[in-house]
Structures are given as structure tokens and as C-alpha cells.
Chain A
Amino acid sequence: MFWTSWLLAGLAIALAWPVPVFLSRASWPARAPFAAMVLWQAIALAGGLSMIGAMLFWGLLPLGGNLGEGLEGLRRIILGQESLDRLGFIHTFALSAAGLLTVHLLFTLWLTYFRINRQRRHHRDLLHLLSFPDAERPDTLVINHKAPVAYCLPGGSRSVTVLSDGLMALLSPEELRAVLLHEQTHLAQRHHLLLWAFAAWRAALPWLPTSKLAQRAVSSLIEIMADDVALRHVTKSTLVAAIALVASGSSELPAAALVGGSGEKIDTPATTSARLSRLLTPEPALGTGAQVLILSGALLLLAAPTALLTVPGLLH
């Protein structure tokens, strides 16, 4: 138990700081976006599990030699059959912290879901009053606005892709197709679920480097994945033209000016330039061997804390 708690603590620290910093600086994720995405999910999940696990194990130390004995002892203390003195102040503190962190993470996940859904519902209400369905494309709405804007609004069977007049005037039919393919990939691959989970992770632990870096990486990776799917149907130059046209059209209408020119610093990762440079100077996809290695690493990362947590007496 003693060594398990220290092992988990070590893993938690590694996953909270050096590993994500290292990964966020690596250049290979753009060459293997899927593997990178799985790895980020493993880091977040294993990080959370080992944080909770380390405190839980250390807290249970005085109660027994393994997790089963420890939990049994805790049950008796909670039921009043044994005195809390057996735990002592520091171990009680660790156990409370483990419990609080668990509740905090789950509650933030739920709260983020609730908040995102409420914003989507509000947006959908307005959208349906102000847009009209596209004559040629199903599940596509058009809004009257000169800013070139395309986005998708997830919502199960009511998911829609939205285009502005400005965008349709700016792009050729083929470029428009690239944009639509990109947006429909977000919906088809359920990218909003990833964004939700990582937004919650960041909201729960905003001071941790890993949560911020993970959210940025994931929001960048989903764009790369959507671009890759679009590239199966349109040429690279078409997609580059679409990105360049929409980006230059958007930068004339910066969000800061719309928000009221308060000059607040917008904290956005440079996703668009990363996408563009990846398309203009392509690098070959990472070899299958390397990708398998990364995926196995991610699996191991998840398996380690899970095994330490669930297999009693694995380490004494």
C-alpha cells in the first residue's frame, strides 16, 4: 500500500506537468492525430485516477495491508464501530481530499455538460428564427450575415451545419464542399464529446498545466482530423483556398471588435496557422509501428493506475 500510493503520486505528478508539457511541444501529433488524441485522453484519465488513487491509498495506510482491508476498516470507522483515532489527522485529511476531488471532478463534468447544453439550446432557438434551410443540402441552415462563417451545432438528431450568406458568396462550390465536409466530420466523429470532457477537465483544475495544454491540443487535433477527412473528397489546394479565404475574411471582423473592442487578450491557440502550414508543407504520416507504440503506451498508462487501484495486494 505504501509503495502503491507513492507510485501513484509519482504518476500523478508526471502526468500533471512534465508529460503534457513534453507532448504539447512534440511535432509528431500533427502526423498521427488519432494516436495523439488517444494519448491525451489516457493522460487525462490516468492523471485523474492516480491523483485520487494516491490520496486514497495513503489515507488508508493505517487500516490494512491492501485496498480491501483498508476499505473494510474505513467502512467500520464510518459506521462508528471503530474510532477515527486509528486513522489520525493526516490520513483522514488525505481520504477527505480524495473524496472531495472525486466529487469535484464528477460535479464539474456534469455542470459543464449542463452549461454547454443550455447555451446550445439558446443558440438553437435563435438560430431557427433567423435562418432558413439550405435548398440543396440537408441539415444545413443559412443565416443572413456578411461575415464569412461556418460552424456546426451538435445536438443528436438535431445537429446542423450553419453557413452565412457571406461565406457562400466568398467561396466556390468546391471550396464550400470542403468546408461542409470538414464540419460534418466534427458531427460524425462526435468531436463535441471530446471538447466537453476536456473543457470540464480544464474547468475543474484550471491551475494544472495538463488541463490547459490538453484542451488546446485536443481542439487543435479535431481540426486536423476533420481536415484529413475533407481531403479524401476535395483537393488540397481547394481546402487551402477555403481556409485562407475564410480566415482572411474573419480577421477583418475580429471578435474583439464585436465584443466591444475592450482589447481583452484572446487566448486562442494558433490552430489555423498550424492547419495551414501542415497542408502547405506536408509531412508523411507517422509509421504504423510508431503509431502502434503510442497507442500501446496510452493503454499502458491507463492500465497502470487501474490495476494498482483494483487488484488488491498487487504491491505490498
Chain B
Amino acid sequence: MATLGDLERAVMDLLWEHPEAITANSLRDLLSGRPSATDTRPLAVTTVLTVLSRLEKKALVERERSSRPHRYRAVTSRAEHTAELMLEVLGSAPDREAVLARFIGTVSEGEAATLRKLLGHD
């Protein structure tokens, strides 16, 4: 069975593909149209709405309340989210090291010169 996390990803993928706002019903139809290897049961609109409200809480999705039924859209594009993610990985926030451990930490310019020397590139 597809987990809520998998559904969140599928919904976000669809919203990123459709920059214009879209209703939960159309999202359900699009999701059902996709071949799913593990889950063949039809998807309920309420499930899609649950996923959308979770994503809204995480500030990833916004809702257009002016129309009935409500339409949903991604807050920012996939590329912007990727940039944000990479910034968290590569950034130099004081706690970053404790949050996640990188294979190679930030290399300063001075250290890059030391590295080149060590490796015999100079």
C-alpha cells in the first residue's frame, strides 16, 4: 500500500507539473490515472484532501479559497525547493554540522590550496 509519504510526493510532483491551481478532484483523477505498482484500489478524494492539508501545514501547498471547490497549488517550484535543500546541506549555519554530517565539509579557499598541494596538483 502506498504510504502517506509516497502520496505526498506524488501530489507534489503533480502540483509542480501544473503551475495553475487545481482541485482535489482533478488531482485524484490524475493520481488514479498513474500506474501504481503497489496499490490498485481507487483513491478516495478525502485521502487526497488529507494529504493536501498535511502539505499545507508544511507550507508547501497553498489553497485558493475564492473558488468552490478550493483549488490548490505548490507554493514554490521544484527547483526552488531543491535550491533550499542544497542550501541547508552546503550552508555554514553553526548547527548545520549537528543536523547532518557531510562527507566533505565546507572547504575554504586556503584549505583548497593545501589540498592541491597535498595531491601534487601544484
Interaction A to B: yes
Hey, which bits of chain A sit against chain B, CB under 8 A? 112, 115-116, 119-120, 122-123, 125-130, 143-145, 147, 149-154, 162, 179, 182-183, 186, 191-192, 195-196, 199, 203, 219, 222-223, 242-244, 246-248, 250-251, 253-255, 258-259, 266-268, 270-273, 276-277, 280
Residues B90 and A147 in contact, CB atoms below 8 Å apart: yes
Give A149 to B115 CA distance when docked, in angstroms: 18
Q: Which residues in A have their C-beta under 8 angstroms from that of B19? A: none
- Kindly name the residue among B101, B106, B109, B111 whose own CB sees the greatest number of chain A CB atoms within 10 A: B101
Give A22 to B111 CA distance when docked, in angstroms: 23
B122 interface residue per 8 A CB criterion: no
Q: Which residues in B have their C-beta under 8 angstroms from that of A115? A: 95
- Checking B89, B94, B104, B112 against A199 with a beta-carbon cut-off of 8 angstroms, the contacting residue is B94
B84 interface residue per 8 A CB criterion: yes
Give A254 to B110 CA distance when docked, in angstroms: 12
Q: Which residues in A have their C-beta under 8 angstroms from that of B85? A: 123, 126-127, 130, 143
What 0/1 readout, one digit per residue, does chain B (24-35) give for beta carbons within 8 Å of chain A? Answer: 000000000000
What 0/1 readout, one digit per residue, does chain B (88-101) give for beta carbons within 8 Å of chain A? Answer: 11111011011111
B82 interface residue per 8 A CB criterion: yes
- Kindly name the residue among B12, B106, B119 whose own CB sees the greatest number of chain A CB atoms within 10 A: B106
Residues A147 and B86 in contact, CB atoms below 8 Å apart: yes
Give A162 to B88 CA distance when docked, in angstroms: 13
Q: Count of B residues near A, CB < 8 Å?
A: 40
9 closest Cβ contacts across the A-B interface?
Answer: A150-B103, A195-B98, A151-B102, A273-B114, A199-B98, A251-B112, A186-B101, A246-B104, A119-B99
B:22-55 near A, CB below 8 Å:
none
- Which residue of chain B has its CB nearest to the CB of A113? B98
What 0/1 readout, one digit per residue, does chain B (53-89) give for beta carbons within 8 Å of chain A? Answer: 0000010100000000000000000100110111111
Given contacts A191-B101, A195-B98, 14 further A-B contacts (CB under 8 A): A120-B99, A129-B60, A144-B82, A149-B102, A151-B102, A186-B101, A192-B98, A203-B94, A223-B105, A250-B106, A255-B106, A266-B108, A270-B111, A280-B118
Residues B86 and A272 in contact, CB atoms below 8 Å apart: no
- Kindly name the residue among B81, B90, B103 whose own CB sees the greatest number of chain A CB atoms within 10 A: B103
> Are A259 and B92 also in contact (CB < 8 A) when A116-B99, A130-B81, A246-B104 are?
yes
Residues B107 and A152 in contact, CB atoms below 8 Å apart: no
Query: Is the contact region of chain A dominated by helix, strand, or loop, or is it mixed?
Result: helix
Q: Which residues in B have their C-beta under 8 angstroms from that of A183? A: 101, 103
Residues A243 and B104 in contact, CB atoms below 8 Å apart: yes
Q: Pick 10 A–B contacts, CB within 8 A, sort by A.
A: A119-B88, A128-B5, A151-B100, A182-B103, A199-B97, A254-B107, A267-B92, A268-B105, A270-B108, A273-B118
For residue A268, give the distance in angstroms from its CB to the closest CB of chain B.
5
For residue B12, give the distance in angstroms from its CB to the closest CB of chain A.
5
For residue B22, give the distance in angstroms from its CB to the closest CB of chain A.
17
- Checking A126, A203, A219, A273 against B115 with a beta-carbon cut-off of 8 angstroms, the contacting residue is A273
